[in-house]
Amino acid sequence: MQAARVRATVSTVSEGKTAGGDFQVRFWGVRGSIATPGPATARYGGNTSSIEVRCGKRLILLDAGTGMRYLGNILVAEAPLDTDIFFTHTHFDHVCGLPFFKPFFQPQNSFRLWAGHLGAGMTLHRVLREFMMAPLFPVPLGIFAADISFDDFHAGDTLRPHPGITIRTAPLNHPNGATGYRIEYAGKVVAYITDTEHRRDGLDADVLKLIDGADVMIYDASYTDAEYPTHRDWGHSTWEEGVRLANAAGVKTLVIFHHDPGHDDDFMDRVAIDAATARPGTIVAQEGLVLRP
């Protein structure tokens, strides 16, 4: 069923590597809901959602959790940057790294920030302005020196941020909404599907469209199926549902992502064994993981 596997390597944050060229994905934060520093989570990592995608010379960032700070510390050397940041949604764990992203303080950089989950009357600019506001935060959004623009779209739109890069989107099943992404570049597909809760009446048709034939499917697998009954309506899914979706859509490599803050490294090791048994080639995301579709 599976074709050639996606190449996967891991290097630590302290090695200071970014994803590099071609079509590559690097994980800077893999944790859901809240950062979980400490020895019990050191191997998989405690930083919240932050992913670097390289499409040739183009740099795309997915979400801006606490992992983004480490990426930013390295990216300052790549200025001037011209970069797109796509948000699944604006829950705190996906935006809290923004104010600590050093490239925002470099005037030679340009960023376009995209979100598709906000309804009428709300904009990404307003959400982030109100997030960086006293007394919740000491400095306002206007503190940034880089040129930053804000693009609101509708989940379901197809985006073409640059020649050769197509990004298809769809709404996910999450409180306050979220957007799933399907990034197509150089004949390959990376799908980023978090945060989302699976449907109880069958596989989610919107998700199936985004992951159809994908080389890499990054999926909100916060829970196991056994844990799920006590987490209904929390807006997250399970690794077993990820396997069902990946099998139905002919995905090459499933990547388990958005780890529950209560799941320590030993727990994730067990998930890794169970998931790879259920679907050989399945990977549990960890900080420093680099995938080359």
Under the rule (CB under 5 A), what is the footprint of Zn ion?
A: 32, 91, 93, 195
Task: Name which of 91 and 259 has its Cβ closer to Zn ion.
Answer: 91
Minimum gap (Å) between residue 179 Cβ and Zn ion? 11
Give CA torsion, residues 286, 287, 292, 293, to 10 deg: 50
Task: Name which of 90 and 109 has its Cβ closer to Zn ion.
Answer: 90
Task: Name which of 32 and 99 has its Cβ closer to Zn ion.
Answer: 32
Minimum gap (Å) between residue 202 Cβ and Zn ion? 23
Return d(Cα 136, Cα 138) in angstroms, integer: 7
Q: How far is CA 14 from CA 17, 24, 63, 288, in A?
A: 8, 19, 21, 9
Q: Which residues contact 202 (CB under 8 A, 6 or more apart)?
A: none
- CA 279 from centroid of its chain's CA atoms: 22
Q: How many CB atoms neighbour CB 166 within 10 A? A: 15
Minimum gap (Å) between residue 94 Cβ and Zn ion? 6
Give CA torsion, residues 159, 172, 72, 137, to 10 deg: 120
Minimum gap (Å) between residue 177 Cβ and Zn ion? 9
Q: CA geometry: angle at 101 spanning 100 and 102, to 5°?
A: 105
Minimum gap (Å) between residue 47 Cβ and Zn ion? 12
Task: Name which of 26 and 91 has its Cβ closer to Zn ion.
Answer: 91
Minimum gap (Å) between residue 218 Cβ and Zn ion? 13
Task: Name which of 101 and 144 has its Cβ closer to Zn ion.
Answer: 101
Give helix 265-278 / helix 239-249 axis angle, nearest 10°.
30
Task: Name which of 198 and 252 has its Cβ closer to Zn ion.
Answer: 198
H helix runs in the chain, sequence order: 68-75, 92-95, 124-131, 205-211, 239-249, 265-278
Q: Which residue is nearest to Zn ion (CB)?
A: 91
